[in-house]
Amino acid sequence: MSEPESCLQEKVRGGTKMNPGDLFGHIGSIVGSLMFIWAMFKQFFPYQVVNQIEKHSQRLVTYVYPYIQITFHEFTGERLMRSEAYSAIENYLSSKASTQAKRLKGDIGKNNQSLVLSMDDHEEVSDEFNGVKLWWASGKHISKAQSTVSFHHPMSDERRYYKLTFHKRNRDVILGTYLNYVMKEGKAIKVKNRQRKLYTNSGSYWSHVVFEHPATFQTLAMDPEEKEMIIDDLITFSKSGGFYARIGRAWKRGYLLYGPPGTGKSTMIAAMANLLGYDLYDLELTAVKDNTELRKLLIETSSKSIIVIEDIDCSLDLTGQRRKKKEKEEKEQEQEKNHTGQNQQGMQEKDVKSSQVTLSGLLNFIDGLWSACAGERLIVFTTNYVEKLDPALVRKGRMDLHIELSYCGFEAFKLLAKNYLNIDAHHLFGTISELLKEIKITPAEVAEHLMPKSASGDAEIYLKSLIQALELTKMQEKVEHGPHWTEN
């Protein structure tokens, strides 16, 4: 059975099922079917005729037609801005269109990789929500006034819309929850499909590149339970907009990632961005001139983003004095050279050497920013030395979750072996498990040993190389602790 036929029959069935024995139900279904056929064929009639027929039939239909229709136009307002609701519906319907509609439109998505399909004009798809059946139809108006003058831009006078049809007895469900659901889902799909960016600051300006880091939580080697807990925490956060609004708190969450170099802190941040589909702002504090500049940078960050300050201990010291002041001054002098001639820099460069970002500036600005800006933001600090940080910076409420990334345990090793060598088990695993209990080695070092060096490389070679390295470290430790070990 063809798709329009099946939709029509669903409509007729829907009418009788919803209101058995009700004459209006039948009439309404028939009128619904006629309207659907009309929607398919009206494009072949002149615009004036269509307009007149629709005007008069509308009045008649409202008497007998038990369905309610809502239209969502693509462009709204005097300045004809593209409607957010329309684009959310378009995204929401894209998956339904690809399974139900017979005529589809295809385009390259914003991430420039995947093909995005949407329903073509005058198509219809059905949807179901909490047991309620409803229909979406796409259509377009061709403006009469513009069609005569828009010779050079034949598409510019087309106004597309989506029309939602549902039985009037479901009014509460549709208006109360369904439409909110569609908006939310549609926006979520948009976020998932959009091209994400990695922003870095040079002085008070953000510049960005496309963010395409392949790290995911699946490939991140760490304790599986802790990993689950972090994923849960992130997903709960990203879905809690309503909760944060209800309790009157800004929608933000702070993470402190700490651990030795090479344990996966930066990798985890990339995985977080990939999981949530957020942009990344990598804030280089040592390149920020003062608190004002810092505030400006943070206010410019967009919603759904992760603001990262790596090695926070190297950027600020406990009194707020810059540890890397000298380096900063050198950097700024260089910038000064580069920007000579750009008059907008002139003002800022005047007091370059006297100003600096302080710890209290950072704290104030974080707290202040969150209450001023809408939308969700994560802030992530990383450090190799958690004990060196000022308690004010890492107190609860500011940094909600402290995550330790540590040396490679056996579970983490197994995941690396799976990722790098595609093996779940091996007779050398037992030896490695024992060695990992005694020897501290970072996931980065393990990964280095497991990295295939030739196309035909045997897993055993790489595992043996890892065992050798572990045994060597063990020997070295023995030598270092020699006197204690040999005393007895």
Ligand X SMILES: Nc1ncnc2c1ncn2[C@@H]1O[C@H](COP(=O)(O)OP(=O)(O)OP(=O)(O)O)[C@@H](O)[C@H]1O
Minimum CB distance to ligand X smaller for 261 or for 482: 261
Minimum CB distance to ligand X smaller for 221 or for 272: 221
CB of 272 to ligand X, least distance (A): 12
Q: Where on the phi/psi map is residue 341: left (φ > 0), alpha (ψ -120 to 50), or beta?
A: left
d(CA 421, CA 221): 14
Contact 293, 358 (CB under 8 A): no
Minimum CB distance to Mg ion smaller for 214 or for 483: 214
What residues numbered 411-450 form the site for Mg ion, per CB under 5 A?
none
CB of 264 to ligand X, least distance (A): 3
Minimum CB distance to Mg ion smaller for 54 or for 212: 212
Minimum CB distance to Mg ion smaller for 266 or for 291: 266
Element (H, E) at 258: strand 252-258
444 binds, among Mg ion, ligand X, none (CB under 5 to 8 A by kind): ligand X
- Residue type for position 156: S
Q: Which residues bind ligand X (CB under 6 A)?
A: 220-222, 261-267, 384, 405, 443-444, 447
CB of 268 to Mg ion, least distance (A): 9
Smallest CA-to-CA distance from 310 within 360, 378, 257 is with 257
443 binds, among ligand X, Mg ion, none (CB under 5 to 8 A by kind): ligand X
222 binds, among ligand X, Mg ion, none (CB under 5 to 8 A by kind): ligand X
CB of 443 to ligand X, least distance (A): 3
Helix (H, G, I), strand (E, B), or coil: what is residue 488? Answer: coil
Minimum CB distance to ligand X smaller for 88 or for 230: 230
Which two three-digit tokens encode residue 247?
């309790």
429-432, Cβ contacts within 8 angstroms, sequence gap of 24 or more? 429/463, 431/467, 432/463, 432/466, 432/467, 432/470
Query: Residue 119 contacts by C-beta under 8 Å, 6 or more apart in sequence?
Result: 93, 97, 101, 103, 104, 105, 125, 138
- Nearest residue to ligand X by CB is 264
Contact segment (CB under 5 A) with Mg ion among 144-152, 237-245, 264-272, 452-460 equals 264-272
264 binds, among Mg ion, ligand X, none (CB under 5 to 8 A by kind): ligand X
Q: Is 274 in the site for Mg ion (CB under 5 A)?
A: no
Minimum CB distance to ligand X smaller for 93 or for 272: 272
Work out the angle at residue 209's Cα, subtended by the Cα atoms of residues 203 and 214, and round it to the nearest 5 degrees. 125
Cβ count near 427 (within 10 Å): 8
d(CA 198, CA 440): 33
221 φ, ψ to 5°?
Answer: -90, 115
Instruction: Give the residue, chosen from 29, 165, 266, 335, that forms a contact with Mg ion under the rule CB under 5 A.
Output: 266
Residues near Mg ion (CB under 5 A): 265-266
